[in-house]
Amino acid sequence: MNNKKRIAILGSTGSIGTQTLDIVRRNSDKLQVTALAAGSNIDLLEQQIREFQPQVACLNDEKHAKLLQERVTDLKVEVLFGMEGLLAIARHADYDTLVTAVVGMMGIRPTMAAIEAGKDVALANKETLVTAGHLIIPLAKKMGVSILPIDSEHSAIFQCLNGEKRGEVSKIILTASGGPFRGKTRTEMANVQVEDALKHPNWAMGRKITIDSATMVNKGLEVMEAKWLFDVDLDQVEVVVQPQSLIHSMVEFQDGAIMAQLGTPDMRLPIQYALFYPTRMPLDGERVDFKKIRQITFEEPDLENFRGLALAYEAARIGGSMPTIYNAANEMAVSLFLNRRIGFLAITDLIEEAMQAHQVIKNPQVDEILAAEQEAYALIRGKNLK
Ligand code: NDP
Ligand code: MG
């Protein structure tokens, strides 16, 4: 009898995906991969299929999928493609927990399909909750499935809430490293290059989230993610800069007690915690040594120079389809910045412009969310950037 937990990973070749597979590798007596999906990294996906032997795999386009299927004819794996492939995995694959580790709003539909199929979701893909949290959270409640956070701050909060009553929480304190440009003014950031923005002081992550950390849009997305995950008001989510990234986040309770989760920055801990919750499994790696830490410092976030965070609070306060506009404009602007077509500050300028142009839709359904995404893309495309 096989009673391993079966997991499906969307985004298996990325930063979170490969670290998830590392956790599976170290716990092969308890975890088993049954489905893997990636965008276009055919070589790495083939390697992963050979090592983990899933029943089904998926790539973004049909040509790549066919090529991969030909390469793995010696194995019993079916290769699907595109959004239909991701949805087929979410709906029909043989798994217990879906790990959503793709980047961006493409995570919405497969995540919802998994919940509808009654599966638990270990969620790294924050863009999904930011844009569709109002649909996903009630759906998960209705289906009686768990959404387990992988984002380190939200995992920290989730750990701090263990055994506590949600109604006794007074505040969530999200910590931020401040990114590579902490302390800089807008003038000083005007000419920063892609390479500078990709140098995160504490974490090695995918390219998009690394840029989001440099603009502090990442923290803005995380504020919205926290609001949905922990069912708190926006005013109960506070951001504090803690440049050493030792405190991963905190919760303040109504009696004034504050619980914090600390550790060295290593995404494998929140990933493993999500996969084994409520069990804490062993995990090797560097430990915090308080004799060597000279200081843990705190700063207020700089909302004037880092508009990304201020605009996120604004988008969240307006609600409805506005967080989608905030997120979609950011997704496109980040991709333009990474392709060196716009400067660093233009990222938040474009978000602001898209938000100003948008007519809010209250309580948008999935097709309206996806239409709002296209609206933000069209607005930026229409600017005829070089
Ligand atoms: P990466 O860019 O490293 O990985 C993205 C993954 O998505 C890759 O496997 C990529 O495949 C895959 N992908 C891209 N397009 C498609 C597609 N059309 N269909 C299926 N898969 C696709 O991102 P990260 O791992 O850094 O981030 C993933 C998510 O987790 C993001 O939402 C991010 O905000 C969040 N997150 C990440 C953290 C981190 O430490 N990295 C921390 C907290 C949250 P391919 O390689 O083929 O392109
Ligand atoms: Mg985070």
User: Each residue of 231-284: pLDDT tens digit?
Assistant: 999 999 999 999 999 999 999 999 999 999 999 999 999 999 999 999 999 999
| Mutation pick for ligand 1 pocket among 10, 13, 59 (CB with most ligand atoms within 8 Å) | 13
User: Each residue of 340-363: pLDDT tens digit?
Assistant: 999 999 999 999 999 999 999 999
| Mutation pick for ligand 1 pocket among 10, 16, 216, 268 (CB with most ligand atoms within 8 Å) | 16
Burial of 325 (0-12, 13-18, 19+ CB in 10 A): buried
293 CA distance to ligand 1 centroid (A)?
32
Give the ligand whose atoms come closest to the C-alpha of residue 100. Answer: 1
pLDDT at 1: 54
| Ligand 1 atom, smallest distance to 267 CA | 40
User: Each residue of 196-241: pLDDT tens digit?
Assistant: 999 988 888 999 999 999 999 999 999 999 999 999 999 999 999 9
pLDDT band (50, 70, 90) for residue 386: low
Are 350 and 333 in contact by the 8 Å Cβ rule? The answer is yes
| Ligand 1 atom, smallest distance to 11 CA | 9
104 CA distance to ligand 1 centroid (A)?
8
Bridge-partner residues for 245, per DSSP? none
Q: Which two tokens stand for residue 307?
A: 């508009």
Q: By percentage, how much of the chain surpasses pLDDT 90?
A: 97
SS3 2: coil
Cα–Cα distance between 248 and 46 in angstroms, integer?
A: 34
Q: Is residue 34 within a helix (H) or strand (E), and if so which, with residue range? A: strand 31-37
Cα–Cα distance between 359 and 93 in angstroms, integer?
A: 39
pLDDT at 385: 75
Q: Which amino acid is at 66?
A: K
| DSSP conformation letters of 365-376 | -HHHHHHHHHHH
Q: Which amino acid is at 379?
A: L
Q: What is the mean pLDDT of the chain?
A: 97
Residue with tokens 């399909």: 113
pLDDT at 200: 86
Q: Which two tokens stand for residue 270?
A: 């929140």
Tell me which of 57-66, 74-83, 199-208, 215-224 is least confident.
199-208
Are 222 and 130 in contact by the 8 Å Cβ rule? The answer is no
191 CA distance to ligand 1 centroid (A)?
27
pLDDT at 219: 98
With a 6 Å cutoff on the Cβ, whether 103 touches ligand 1 is: yes
With a 6 Å cutoff on the Cβ, whether 12 touches ligand 1 is: yes
pLDDT band (50, 70, 90) for residue 168: very high
User: Each residue of 41-51: pLDDT tens digit?
Assistant: 999 999 999 99
